[in-house]
Structures are given as structure tokens and as C-alpha cells.
Amino acid sequence: MTSNFVHLIAPAACVLWLGGLVGGGVAVAEQAGVATATVWPRFLNSDFSGTAETNESVAAWSWKAPPRCRWSLSVGEGYGLGVIDRGAYFHIDAQNGKERLRRIDLQSGEVVWSQSNDLEYRDLYGYESGARCSPTIDHTQIFTLGVAGALTARDVESGEAQWRVETNEQYHVVQNFFGVGSAPLVLGDAVIVMIGGSPIADQAIAPGRLDRVSPDGSLLVAFDRRTGAELWRCGDDLASYSSPRTIRINDHEYVLVFGREFLHLVDPEHGQSLGSVRYRADMLESVNAMVPVVEGNRVLISDCYDLGAGLFEIDIVDAKAEFTPIWRDPEGRRRDQSLRSHLSTPILHEGFLYACSGRNAPDSDFRCIEFLTGKVQWTAMERSRSTATRLGDVLLVLKESGPLHIVRCTPERFDEIAVWPLNEISEDESNPWPAIRYPCWAAPIVAGNCMLVRGDETVLCLELPRP
């Protein structure tokens, strides 16, 4: 690492499809008493939960046995895992000055097709030039937002490009610290993307000097999924490393977006911002990166620099959003803060959050927090940074150095079931796999009897230890 701070988002979880699904909707497969969704079409799944549900306890599975590796895949520059549909895994990365999207057969790991576009990007802090986040699949289209702001719509079956918008150029985006890092959100005919453009005069401002950059009402922009034409824009804020998501209030669907300065509530039907609440540390080199966690009309957000976490209740009064704090961490008192989210989005399950807390490895841990009160139930894995996926009643916690910890999902204590040393090469001739290497910033993705895990240059497809 060339910097002492990291602001990259890692996908939380993806459910992989292993059968013969034809359509683009969510399907369910039953095998050996387990029911799991068979597609995972976007970052954090269609419900933004980072979870693969099952209808049985998986904590009793044979986790202590070494995992079996189905296949491994070499990947280029970038930090995230992809999305799943039609029996395929779709991975976006960068290689040899090209932005590349590949369709991978889940059974064999073979490349079905590969499509590329020219990529011109230089990171301000020396990080890789690949995508920071996942594509989004909706019906027959797949949408990608690259590190340099290229929003591209492709046909899922062929990979053929249908349209492309260079959003950084069109909206005069002053380069953020680590480029663009947000996943598209598809609602009906609209592809909604966080952009955070500025007046054209701000192009003269040096990259990274976001304290001098002015927003111009294009935090969130919606594009026609058929043509790429702009439908609407709203929000006075610059972009962050979070991703837009939906929230339902009073039986109406809204969009939440955690920008650089504010948490915004947007009415997507009219393309109108209904209000916002400021939430960012008062320091230049800080970013918001987690996706808001939602339960009903309650929303949790967090930063790792100075503010910690806060839980808000959102109400709509006279077509305006009101943000009422339920609890907030004490500003500036890091040792007393419940949750300092940075690299990954917390997992919410039965009233408790499970998440990595901390900015970098020396001050990070994995912990459980009560959602409604912010009370810390337990902490573990001190001095380690990680991401997590929930599979039924277990958490799959991946350290950034490569080991995978299987942990029972309970607020009572940190109950570790097993550790898979995926950072070590398997020399078993009947079950070989290459090691995954730092940085492992994408949470595992699972479906059927498979789990995908990514390191710096490698994706592993592992079989889950079903009885």
C-alpha cells in the first residue's frame, strides 16, 4: 500500500447459480435440504443484505475439513467480485490498458465471452486501475460503471455494447481520490448512478482537492436503460464510494444515497431530492464508503475517521424528508464509538449488526452491535480488517490477508467454527488450489454448493461442505 488510508468498497455477497435458469429474475433451487436464491444480480444482492438465505442450519456442516476447489481464475486489476445470472459469473477488471468484462461458466470456470474498451486512468495514490465495485444485471442487460466513470450497457448473452456514457466528461467530474467506485441501481426503465459532477470551471482544480470543488446538482443521475439518454438529475453533493439503494417509506419506494457530505433521500419517480443530513468527518482525505443499512424507515450509516455510526429514522412530512437521530456515536472519541465502518457494509440479522470496525489493520476488529441501541455485544479478530457475508446462520469473514473464518451468527459471543487458510497454497494433488493474496477486499459470494473468494489476482470457486 502506498497510502495510510483506503477508501475502496468491496462487494458483500453474491449468490451463484448452478443450474439451468433462463430468465433474469430471482429463482430458488432446493438441494440437500437447502434453499438458496439462484441469482445475485447486483452489489449486495437484490435486497442489499449481503446474505444467502437457507432453510436449515449450516453451522453443523463439516467446516473443519479442507475446502474442495472446483476451479480458479486469473483476474486483472480491480478490487471487487462480480454478479451472477444464467449459470454464469460476470467479472469486470482492467488489463493492458483495457476495461474488460467477462462471462465465466460457473461449472467449468471457462470464459464464455470477453468484451473490452479502452481505459485511461491514473490513480492518485497508486492503486489499481480496475473497477472498484460490481456490475448490475437486470433482465437481459448488464450495466457497468468503471473507475474512470464509463457507464456501459451490454447484452447479457453476447456482451455486445448497447450504449456508453463517459460520465466524468459529460458531468465535469473532478477526479476523486481513487476514481469512481459505485454500483448502478436499476429501477424500471432508469439506470441510477452516483456521479457528483461540478461546473465546468472546476476542471481547473487539481485532482483530489475536493475541498475546492462545487457540486452542481448531479450527485445522482438517471439514464434511460434503452438509449443512455439522461432522464433526470438531482442532489447537491460530490460522489462517495457508497452505492445508491432503495428504501420503502409509507408504501412508496425511495432511493438512499450516501454522498461525500450528506445522506440524501430521493424520489426516483420525479427525480427530486427530498432532503439530506450531513455526515462526514471534517478532513479533506476522508470518504463515505458503506452502503446504508435499512430496517423499515430506520437507516444506519457510519464512517471510520471521526464520526463513527449513527441511526436515523426517516419520515416524509409535506413531501420533505425528516431525519431524526435514534442514537449517534460520540464524535472524535474513537475508543467509545460503536462502529467505524470503512471497507465493507455491515450485515444486519435479527436486530444485530456484524461488521468490521476500523480504518486500517492496526485499529480494526470484527464486532457485533445491537442495531437499535448501538451497544457493542462483542469484539474479536483484533488488529485485522475484514469483510463478511452471511450464509444462513453462519458468517463467512474474510481477512484482507486471505484466511476465511467461519463464525456462528449469534450476538452472544464470537463463536468461531473453523478457519480456511486460503492464503496458503494447497499441494494436495487431488485438491490443489493457488493461494489468494492481499488485498482480499471483496466478501465471499455463495450459492448452491459453491463459494467464490477473491484475492489480488485470483478468484477461487470452492465447494461448500454440505453433509
pLDDT tens digits for the chain (467 residues)?
Answer: 333 323 333 333 332 222 222 234 455 554 444 556 677 889 998 899 999 888 889 999 999 999 999 999 999 999 999 988 888 899 999 999 999 999 999 899 999 999 999 999 999 999 999 999 999 999 999 999 999 999 999 999 999 999 999 999 999 999 999 999 999 999 999 999 999 999 999 999 988 899 999 999 999 999 999 999 999 999 999 999 999 999 999 999 999 999 999 999 999 999 999 999 999 999 999 999 999 999 999 999 999 999 999 999 999 999 999 999 999 999 999 999 999 999 899 999 999 999 999 999 889 999 999 999 999 999 999 999 999 999 999 999 999 999 999 999 999 999 999 999 999 999 888 999 999 999 999 999 887 788 889 999 999 999 989 77
For position 1, what pLDDT does the model report? 36
Between the alpha carbon of residue 226 and those of residues 163, 191, 230, 263, the distances in Å are 8, 10, 11, 29
CA 403, distance to chain mean position in Å, is 20
In a domain, 18, yes or no: no
Annotate 203-231 with b (16+ C-beta within 10 A) or e (fewer): eebeebebeebebbebbbbbbebeeeeeb
Burial class, 26, CB count within 10 angstroms (exposed 0-12 / middle 13-18 / buried 19+)? middle
What total number of domains does the chain contain?
Answer: 1
Tens of pLDDT along 138-148? 999 999 999 99
Contact 282, 244 (CB under 8 A): no
For position 365, what pLDDT does the model report? 97
In a domain, 10, yes or no: no
What span, in angstroms and rounded, lies between the C-alpha atoms of 289 and 7? 7
In a domain, 21, yes or no: no
Cα-based torsion angle of the residue sequence 413, 415, 420, 423 in order, rounded to the nearest 10 degrees: 20
In a domain, 7, yes or no: no
User: What CATH number has the domain bearing residue 361?
Assistant: 2.130.10.10
For position 448, what pLDDT does the model report? 75
In a domain, 432, yes or no: yes
In a domain, 16, yes or no: no
In a domain, 5, yes or no: no
Tens of pLDDT along 295-324? 999 999 999 999 999 999 999 999 999 999
User: Comparing C-alpha atoms, which of 409, 408, 426, 425 is closest to residue 417?
Assistant: 408
Tens of pLDDT along 279-300? 999 999 999 999 999 999 999 9
pTM for the predicted model, two decimal places: 0.92
Contact 98, 144 (CB under 8 A): no
**Which residues form the domain of 205?**
28-463
In sequence order, the 6+-apart residues with CB closer than 8 A to the CB of 180 are 132, 145, 146, 147, 148, 149, 167, 168, 173, 239
In a domain, 4, yes or no: no
